[in-house]
Every structure is written in C-alpha cells, then in structure tokens.
Amino acid sequence: MKRVMFVCKKNSARSQMADAFANKYGAGKITVTSSGLEKSQVNPGAIAAMDAIGMDIRNQSSNALSEFQPEDFDVVISLCGCGVNLPPDWVVREVFEDWQLEDPAEKPELFLEVRDEVERRVKDLIDRVG
C-alpha cells in the first residue's frame, strides 16, 4: 500500500480537503497524511466547503511537515506550489507532484472550485498509485 503525504503552506485548506478525499476514495489502497510547512488550524471555509458535500473535516488537525520523516512516504503531493520550499528529501520520493492550486484562504470565493479540483486530482492520483 502506497503511503501518501499531502503538503501545503499551512495545512489548513487544500491539503485538509485532499486528506479527506484520499481517505474516502483510497481506503484499502493508500494510507494518507497531510501536513504544512507550518502548523495552523483547519480553515472554516474548508470545513464549510466539505460540509456542502456531506464530508465533515472538523476533527482533522493541522500538522507540521517537520513532524514527519520523508522516507516514511512513497508519494508526496504539494498542493500550493510550495514544492520549491520543501527540503530536498521530500521531492525525491517515488512520486512527487506539485499541483499549484490557488489558495482559497486568500480568495474565499474559490473554496468550492478548489475543493472540486482537489477531489478530481485525488481520484486520478489514487487510480495511478493505488
């Protein structure tokens, strides 16, 4: 089973949504963790966007990437273009992708659009690596 890390700047929105979708669609195929370059809190806009489709992420927590070891993961996905800021060991995993999705925390009107794009990409990722 592939071990997947979703990483973003603050682990507050995009990576939290990716974590939830990957756990839903990848159950039994992949294991999932999410983190941020810095630790934060789950963004209320992300909670609302996921609530709108019946997924509750209120109990998810924000984690700092520094709490994890890169060798514990096969797949690393940056959701925000922060791949250039990751320590080198994180970008040389079996699969590394930088999705460069806009930050809905900075543009709240984008939460639903970003959520849907994250879901689409997570499903595609699971099809490829799961």
Give the pTM.
Answer: 0.96
Q: Catalogue the active-site residues.
A: 8, 80
- Cite the beta strand spans of the chain per DSSP E: 2-8, 30-36, 75-78, 95-98
Ordered DSSP codes for 72-98: G-SEEEESSSGGGGS-HHHHTSSEEEE
pLDDT in tens, 44-84: 999 999 999 999 999 999 999 999 999 999 999 999 988 88
Q: Which residue has the tokens 């690596």?
A: 129
Which CATH class for the 2-129 domain? alpha beta
Question: Residue 84: its pLDDT value, please?
Answer: 84
**pLDDT tens string 17-31:** 999 999 999 999 999
Other Cβ atoms less than 10 A from the Cβ of 72: the count is 11
